[in-house]
Amino acid sequence: MGNGGIKAYAAIVLIRLMYSGMHVMSKVALDHGMNPFVFVFYRHGTAALVLIPAALILERPKAKLVTLKIAAKMFVHALYGVTACGFLFNVGLNYASATSSSALYNVQPVVTFILAVVFGMESMKLKKLHGNVKAAGILFCITGVIVLAFYQGPMFKSFNHHRLFQKGNIDSSAGNTHSKMQWVFGIFLMTLSNVLAGLWTVLLGPLIDETSKLMNTTLQISWAAAQAFVVAFAAERDFSKWKLGWNVELATIVYSGVIVTALSYYMQMWTITKRGPVFLAMSMPLTFIFTIIISSFILGDATSLGSIFAGILLIGGLYNVLWGKNIEEHDEPDNDIGATKPDLELQRKEAQAHDDNATKV
């Protein structure tokens, strides 16, 4: 393995650690009583404060003109794919757990594939092996979501009995202290968030070429910050809930906006350039594994057998879909190059759009 290969694997591990930290820190902030709507506004607002200067400095000499039509398109895509997605995810996380959220993270590429099939951008020929492998992957994912929602099983307690963060809000603590209906509701909301993220990924394709990736991201996150402010203001009129101190809530907002959005965005683009989008997608299950470890050994959280079993099913579903796509590419070499380009282009756009999603979940 060359030096470039080692760097790519190191980047992947760091990226997934960043995402795992985001899942755990977001849950801790919500457990401490942070309003989910206010939290989403602060996260998008922080990301916008990082992205706007970067776009002005880096894009001004070469930026394409952003027309009113393009700005309007970005507003709509941000509304359902960033703002609504972020709200659903964080409200759902408030009722579930960091482990469950990181497990469901593996659903997003599969949902993207399903929607791509619906929109005619991908194929799933059930009479061929690759079609059956993809279909099995979809079934694994559906089963995984059902298991995560309705089966808990025995709990595996952490060896660490000293929590780094004490829960500030008993009513919104770990997922296993919620009622069964609240847990199921949380899983449903986070699943719906991943569906919206998948839809955003598929419909974003035509927009990527209308402006640069950085300008595209900056516009959507800026719109999302404004939209989130309106919703948060309507949902939370007690402005004491908006105050931030030198605490875990502030640390989570800064971490999500600066580290996950800015730094991980650059690292993911670099990884795609070096090793391709499939390499990045294949690393997604590491987020689930790292989140279990961080939640257990740092926060002292117990992990249920149901969450582990569901995570395995969801990861299996993701790998099956990727495996099916790989078989399809090798199965039909007689197709002309132009016939395979849409799939490769979709993979590229899926990975780019998915990784732009760092600020949403």
187-201: per-residue pLDDT in tens? 999 999 999 988 988
- For residue 349, what pLDDT is reported? 54
Handedness of CA 260, 261, 263, 269 (dihedral sign): positive
Which residues are CB-neighbours of 126 under 8 A, at least 6 positions away? 132, 135
Whole-number percent of the chain with pLDDT over 70 = 83
Residue 296 has pLDDT above 70, yes or no: yes
- For residue 164, what pLDDT is reported? 58
**Local confidence band at 178 (pLDDT 50, 70, 90 cut-offs):** low
Q: How many residues does the chain have?
A: 361
How do residues 227-284 score in pLDDT, each as one tens digit? Answer: 999 999 999 888 888 988 888 889 999 998 888 876 887 788 788 778 877 788 888 8
Do residues 343 and 278 lie in contact, with contact meaning Cβ atoms separated by under 8 Å? no
Q: Which one is predicted more confidently, 237 or 351?
A: 237
Answering whether pTM is above 0.75, one says: yes
Rounded Cα distance between 315 and 161, Å, is: 29
Q: Which of 150, 172, 164 is nearest to 93 (CA)?
A: 172
Domain boundaries, the chain: 14-359
Residue 87 has pLDDT above 90, yes or no: yes
